[in-house]
């Protein structure tokens, strides 16, 4: 009887040890899963130019594909900020630009995309200058693309260029913060009757970076 009781105690001890180890392992697993969960939601996708390391866009700004995905169209917005020294990039229209009622005297209006990514406005192009820029940009970018991305770019960049050319007189031109000579240009214009700018990106010239 004594031996049976001792046997039962040993079995019980082993069960308790196993249960403790199992619970401890599960708690550790939950901890790891929670870390992954937090990490997944802390990741922000940013898009940088291939030729320069400037951030030009992020996934917090939705885009619409044009010209079979070679161009991305992104809607900008005028926003009010406190006294900050920024290049606002464009003037608001007469309809909404002077409506400062209730706004602090030190506040300024900025375009969200220009302000967020510190885009630097560049002089406008005439037709000859723009064609020269595009030819150089295509030559520099094409070898950096691979496979289907390169094929898509080659197939559709001509129509994308024509689309940009059709709006040349209305376009504003921006470079990233570093103002790198070979950096990707960001284009902006106002659609008919619009009071907020629309931005255009040459999508193959952007690369995703997790930060």
* Architecture of the domain spanning 45-210: Beta Complex (2.170)
3-state DSSP assignment of residue 179:
coil
pTM of the model: 0.67
In whole angstroms, what is the distance from residue 200 CA to residue 177 CA? Answer: 17
pLDDT at 84: 40
Q: Phi and psi of 169, rounded to 5°? A: -70, -20
Predicted local distance difference test score (pLDDT) of residue 135: 95
Q: State both tokens at 47.
A: 């898009």
- Ranges under pLDDT 50 in the chain: 4, 11-12, 15-16, 19-20, 22-24, 26-45, 83-89, 93-95, 97
pLDDT value of position 98: 52
Token pair 């770019």 is found at: 153
- Burial class of residue 108 in the structure, from the number of CB atoms within 10 Å of its CB (0-12 exposed, 13-18 middle, 19+ buried): middle
User: Any idea what DSSP says for residue 101?
Assistant: T
């Amino acid at each position: 009887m004594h031996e049976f009781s001792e046997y039962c105690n040993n079995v019980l001890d082993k069960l308790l040890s196993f249960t403790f180890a199992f619970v401890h392992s599960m708690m550790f697993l939950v901890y790891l899963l929670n870390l992954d969960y937090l990490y997944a939601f802390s990741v922000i996708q940013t898009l940088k130019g291939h030729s320069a390391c400037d951030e030009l866009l992020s996934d917090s700004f939705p885009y619409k594909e044009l010209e079979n995905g070679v161009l991305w169209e992104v809607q900008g917005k005028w926003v009010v900020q406190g006294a900050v020294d920024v290049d606002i990039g464009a003037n608001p229209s007469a309809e909404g630009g002077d409506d400062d009622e209730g706004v602090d005297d030190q506040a300024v209006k900025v375009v969200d995309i220009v302000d967020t990514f510190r885009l630097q406005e560049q002089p406008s192009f005439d037709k000859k200058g723009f064609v020269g820029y595009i030819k150089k940009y295509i030559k520099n970018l094409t070898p950096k693309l691979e496979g289907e991305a390169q094929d898509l770019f080659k197939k559709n960049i001509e129509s994308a260029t024509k689309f940009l050319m059709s709006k040349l007189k209305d376009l504003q031109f921006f470079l990233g913060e570093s103002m790198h000579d070979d950096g990707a240009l960001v284009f902006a214009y106002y659609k008919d009757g619009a009071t907020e700018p629309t931005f255009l990106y040459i999508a193959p010239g952007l690369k995703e970076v997790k930060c």
